Amino acid sequence: LFTSPALSAGETRVIDGPQAHYLSRVMRVKAGDAVILCDDETGEWAARVTDAGKRSVTVEMAELLRERESVPQLTLCAALLKKPRFDLVLEKATELGVARIQPVITRRCVADALNMDRARTIVTEAAEQCARTALPHIAEPVTLDAMLREWASIWHGQPLFFADETRDAPPATSAFAAEAAPAAILIGPEGGFDDAERAAIRGAEAARPVSLGPRILRGETAAIAAISLWMGIAGD
């Protein structure tokens, strides 16, 4: 269970809200039970339940089991997709270990907004399920132009791998091997990027078009494939 603020040995922490409901009603914890907590700062802790009520559960922190993991410095810049498909992107990108998820709004996006609370819940539950000790950062959606500007200014010089299905871009594997971390991967929406967007991406200094093979993949498939390839080659 991810909680905040940072945890410390011997402290008593009262957990309330949905997490208390999950512990007491779903996991049916009772006093004396052992639980595992993470705080996305120090790492993963062993704790013991001292009181389990319907509205709150009290735990006493014991010991640090695992330090917060080092996260491969990969940002996924993904065009918003229809809700269930983007939910899948959030969940699988978290499981695969990305550091940041930057939702992008492009002209052909079907969805034009993202429920951030819901997105954070999906990411947190995926992190708990795969036993990550660090949560990926999920940013508010931005337009493609804003994302390109941010990438140029904040992440200057780091490659922005643009998953490009339309022309003979180099295979992603060779591009990823040629330029190690940190990096970003940009994936388009269901309808792809339009010509003006494609020109803007290609005009970006850091942009590197990469191919994920000869077939047209769904956006969520392209995201999962590209992250998996990158993690296998450049992830630390």
Applying CB under 6 A, the residues found at the interface with ligand SAM are 163-165, 187-188, 190-193, 211-213, 215-219, 222
Q: Is residue 174 packed enough to be buried (19+ CB in 10 Å), middle (13-18) or exposed (0-12)?
A: exposed
Write down the least CB distance from residue 92 to ligand SAM, Å: 14
Euclidean distance between CA atoms 116 and 22, whole angstroms: 21
Nearest residue (CB) to ligand SAM, 20 versus 212: 212
Shortest separation between residue 68's beta carbon and ligand SAM, angstroms? 32
**Nearest distance from C-beta of residue 130 to ligand SAM, angstroms:** 24
Closest residue by beta carbon to ligand SAM: 188
In this structure, what DSSP letter does residue 136 have? P
Distance CA 225, CA 220 (A): 9
- Identity of the residue, 106 or 124, whose beta carbon is nearer to ligand SAM in the bound complex: 106
Of the pair 45, 176, the CB lying nearest ligand SAM is at 176
Give the H or E element holding residue 94: helix 83-96
| Helices vs strands, H then E, count in the chain | 7, 11
Cβ closer to ligand SAM: 182 or 192? 192
